[in-house]
Structure 1
Amino acid sequence: MLVLRLKRVGRKGQPSFRVIVTPKKAGGPAGKPKEYLGWFNPFTKEFQLKSERISYWLSQGAQPSETMHNLLIKAGLLDGKKIPLHGKEKHPEPVAEAKPEAKPEAVETKPEAEPAPAE
C-alpha cells in the first residue's frame, strides 16, 4: 500500500518537509521514495504541491497520512473535515455511575432482642 507523507529535511531546529509517496512498509520515512511531490515549511506555513501528480497517486490508491490529509484539504485537493491531531492522547473521563441511595424505609432495623426466659 502506498502512502503520502512528509519527510523531514533541514537542519537541527529548522525543519522543513518534503511531500513524498512511498510504500507504507518501506523502512520508515528514511527509505527511498517513489516520487517527490512538493515541500512544506512549518515556520512560514508555506507549501508547494504538484497537484496533478498527487491526484494521480490518490487515484492509484495511495492513502495520505493525517498531517498530509489536513494539508491537502488546505490546498483544496481533498474535500472533508480536517483530522484533529493534538487531541488523540486524551482519555475520556470515566462517567461516575449514580449509586442508588438507600431510602429510610428500606433500611432494615434489627428487632430488639427479647429477654431470655429466666430458669
Structure 2
Amino acid sequence: MVKLRLKRMGKKGAPFYRIVAADSHFPRDGRFIEAIGTYDPTRHPSAITLDTELAIKWLKNGAQPSDTVRSILSKEGVLKRLHEEKNAK
C-alpha cells in the first residue's frame, strides 16, 4: 500500500520534513517513490511547499495520507479540490 507521509530531514533539534509517497513497508526515513513537497514546522507560521498536481495524482491512485499529511493537504486546499473534481464528473 502506498502512503503519503513525512520523511524527517535536517539535523538534531532542527527538523524539517519532506512529504513523500512511499510504500508502507519502507522505513520512515528510507526509500520513497516520489517527493511531493516539504514541511518546516520550526518556522512560524509553518512553511509548506507542495506540488498539488502530484498530491492529487497519488490520492486518485489510492494513496492513503497519514494524519499529519492529511491535515497539511486540507490546509492547502488539496482535499477540497480533489473532492470537487470527483463530484464534477
* C-alpha distance in 1 between matches for 2:31 and 2:25: 11
Q: CA deviation at 1:31?
A: 2.1
Letter in 2 for 1:37: I
* C-alpha distance in 2 between matches for 1:30 and 1:15: 12
User: Is the radius of gyration larger for structure 1 or structure 2?
Assistant: 1
Q: CA deviation at 1:17?
A: 0.3
Q: Which residue of 2 aligns with 1:36?
A: 35
Structure 1 vs Structure 2 CA RMSD: 0.8
Q: Which residue of 2 aligns with 1:63?
A: 64
How many matched pairs? 78
Q: Deviations over 1:46-105 (max 9, x none)?
A: 1100000000000000000000000000000114xxxxxxxxxxxxxxxxxxxxxxxxxx
Q: CA deviation at 1:30?
A: 2.3
Q: CA deviation at 1:34?
A: 0.3
Q: Which residue of 1 aligns with 2:10?
A: 10
Please report the TM-score for the alignment, with normalisation by the length of structure 1.
Answer: 0.64
In structure 1, stretches of 5+ residues that fail to align are: 80-119
Q: Which runs of 4+ in 1 moved over 4 A?
A: none
**Greater strand fraction, Structure 1 or Structure 2:** 2
Please report the TM-score for the alignment, with normalisation by the length of structure 2.
Answer: 0.84
* C-alpha distance in 1 between matches for 2:65 and 2:47: 19
**Greater helix fraction, Structure 1 or Structure 2:** 2
Instruction: Report the secondary structure of 1:61's partner residue.
Output: coil
Pairwise mapping of residues 1-119 of structure 1 onto structure 2 (< 5 A)?
Answer: 1-26=1-26, 28-44=27-43, 45-79=46-80
Instruction: Report the secondary structure of 1:78's partner residue.
Output: helix
